[in-house]
Chains A and B, each alone.
Chain A
Amino acid sequence: GENVEQHPSTLSVQEGDSAVIKCTYSDSASNYFPWYKQELGKGPQLIIDIRSNVGEKKDQRIAVTLNKTAKHFSLHITETQPEDSAVYFCAASTGQAGTALIFGKGTTLSVSS
């Protein structure tokens, strides 16, 4: 079945710096790759996603890139702010009609001011 590896597990940056989180997946049939942000005591929040027919997608300070050949995708956050501090999860679709998501183990991002 699908396996998603996520690195790094923790990331500390200064406010204004960029942050990059990387994920690799194993199932070449996966075609949808969302990123979630989870703050303490809350459910995961979908922040950006990408489908396998697209190489890059950007939404203000957040961007995601996908390399299907290498089976890896990355989250880029520019001009980080303290409120970006949270746990970030990548995921890949799998299973029947792509309805199931397999999550990476998460990255704890800390942005200090």
Chain B
Amino acid sequence: DTEVTQTPKHLVMGMTNKKSLKCEQHMGHRAMYWYKQKAKKPPELMFVYSYEKLSINESVPSRFSPECPNSSLLNLHLHALQPEDSALYLCASSFRPIQGPSYEQYFGPGTRLTVT
């Protein structure tokens, strides 16, 4: 099973709201990712967690705050977002050996976020 689940599927929030996106996988993967995808564009990497530690932050604004509470869960906390942050937010996971690179990344269905 290569399933990554994300909740909620859709989210509408105002610019002053605080909300969280959730991602879960039970494949034993130790690398988890957040991507942002605008319409008709490719996914853009935001964050990478490796063994529950943040390993890559692609200069993402602080209004996006990731959290990896355990090896199966990944959260993205949202605060004071702008309308241009409206997008599909994708979570992915991959097997992460202690040494050597990660390979196959499996994506969830995404959360469609609209900021009003």
A97, CB-defined interface residue at 8 Å: yes
Q: What DSSP secondary structure best describes chain B's contact surface?
A: loop
Which residues of the partner chain A approach B41 to less than 8 Å between Cβ atoms?
105-106
Report the bound CA distance from A101 to B96 in whole Å. Answer: 14
Which residues of the partner chain A approach B94 to less than 8 Å between Cβ atoms?
99
Which residues of the partner chain A approach B48 to less than 8 Å between Cβ atoms?
95, 99-100
Number of interface residues of B (CB under 8 A): 27
Residue in contact with B96 in the complex, picked from A36, A51, A99, A106, CB distance below 8 Å: A99
Which residues of the partner chain A approach B90 to less than 8 Å between Cβ atoms?
43-44
Which residues of the partner chain B approach A93 to less than 8 Å between Cβ atoms?
101, 103
Digitize B99-116: 1 where CB-to-A-CB distance is under 8 Å, 0 elsewhere: 011111111111000000
Report the bound CA distance from A44 to B56 in whole Å. Answer: 21
Report the bound CA distance from A87 to B18 in whole Å. Answer: 33
Residue in contact with A43 in the complex, picked from B31, B40, B107, CB distance below 8 Å: B107
The answer to whether B42 and A104 have CB atoms under 8 Å apart is: yes
User: Known contacts A44-B43, A104-B42, A106-B42: does B107 contact A99 (CB below 8 Å)?
Assistant: no
Number of interface residues of A (CB under 8 A): 25
Give B42's nearest chain A residue, CB to CB: A103
Digitize A88-113: 1 where CB-to-B-CB distance is under 8 Å, 0 elsewhere: 01000101111111111110000000
The answer to whether B110 and A43 have CB atoms under 8 Å apart is: yes
List residues of A whose CB falls within 8 A of some B CB: 31-32, 34, 36, 42-46, 49, 51, 89, 93, 95-106
List residues of B whose CB falls within 8 A of some A CB: 2, 4, 31, 40-45, 48, 50, 55-56, 90, 94, 96, 100-110
